[in-house]
Amino acid sequence: MTSSATFHGYSEGRGSRGETFGINLAYLFALPAAALLAVVVLAPIAIVIALSFTDYSLGATEWSGVGMRNYGQLLHDKNFLNALSNTTLYVAVVVSMSVLLGLLLAILVGDTARMRRVYEVIFFLPVASTLVALGLVWKFMLHSRIGPINELIAALSFPRIDFFNNPSTAIFALAAIGVWHLIGFNMILFLAGLTGIPRDLYEAAAIDGADGFWDRLFRVTWPMLGPTTIFVTITSTITAFQVFDTVAVITHGGPGGTTDVILYQLYQASFQYFETGYASALTVVFLIIMMAISAVQIFAARGVHYS
């Protein structure tokens, strides 16, 4: 009896030590990745946050702390408020149109069995291209004098439109490029979501009288795509907020600041005016916006489920 208890305690002791060793070994294997994450991601973020409280200028040998002055300057900077307004408008247009059109394309392509792969490749091509290249192509396409789109407009006896130099159309022209760039990626995500919808639901809906395209869309397809729609909306929002390439290549923030966006203003403050402290504060504000969007994603995903 005593021998059995002793052996049982010995076994438990060995098991406990083995489990502890396994945990320590797991931490040891994770250490290089954690160190790389700290050096590449966390350390730069900490440095940017620290610089946002200084008047440091790129290349300066001396600087001093200024507290919250850079953040106060942001709140009263008309250029920043204008850039925030332009970015918000751009995001609203790009996200709404890319999500809606991506869903409709996914439904149409999903119903086309014979040419589905071909359509998927065609619509996904803009995603695989760089925005700088796309910006140059669209700058030519929408050119007021030699652009094919304006040639078509003139052929229809309408006045030509200077899309990128007109304050009322410039931001929407950039948004159209953003939609065109995102729509293929959103379509692929929605196609993946559509494969998880049981066909029995459509048959049951048809029996109940919902046999039309729009009836199936609003009563079956979209409710069942709730989690996919949330994911697509959040990823599209984050991507749209990061707009920079097309602004830098096509409009340079003009005309009259109507296409000035947050990242382009950050670029100017950092590499044109060398106001590193102010640019760091702008970076921190941008990171806070991105974190807020991610928090919305987590909160919204909890309340969405398949019906």
Q: Look at residue 18 in the predicted model and tell me its pLDDT.
A: 60
Are the CB atoms for 246 and 178 separated by under 8 Å? yes
pLDDT tens digits, 220-278: 777 788 888 888 888 899 899 999 989 998 988 888 889 999 999 999 988 888 888 99
Q: What is the dihedral of CA 85, 99, 246, 262, to 10 degrees?
A: 30
Are the CB atoms for 265 and 79 separated by under 8 Å? yes
Query: Tell me, what DSSP letter sits at residue 218?
Result: I
pTM for this predicted structure: 0.83
pLDDT tens digits, 121-173: 777 788 777 888 888 888 888 888 888 998 998 888 888 888 888 888 999 99
Are the CB atoms for 225 and 138 separated by under 8 Å? no
Cα–Cα nearest to 244, from 49, 87, 78: 87
Question: DSSP assignment of 63-130, as one string?
Answer: --B-TTHHHHHHHH-HHHHHHHHHHHHHHHHHHHHHHHHHHHHHHHHHT-STTHHHHHHHHHHHHHS-
Q: Look at residue 15 in the predicted model and tell me its pLDDT.
A: 53
Q: In sequence order, what are the beta bridge partners of 54?
A: 65
Class (C level, CATH) for 72-302: mainly alpha
Task: Please state whether 252 falls in left (phi above 0), alpha (psi between -120 and 50) or beta.
Answer: left
pLDDT tens digits, 292-301: 887 877 777 6
- Mean pLDDT, residues 22-33 taken together: 81
Q: Look at residue 7 in the predicted model and tell me its pLDDT.
A: 47
Q: Look at residue 83 in the predicted model and tell me its pLDDT.
A: 92
1-15, 40-54, 144-158, 222-236: range with lowest mean pLDDT:
1-15
11, pLDDT greater than 90: no
Domain boundaries, the chain: 1-51, 72-302
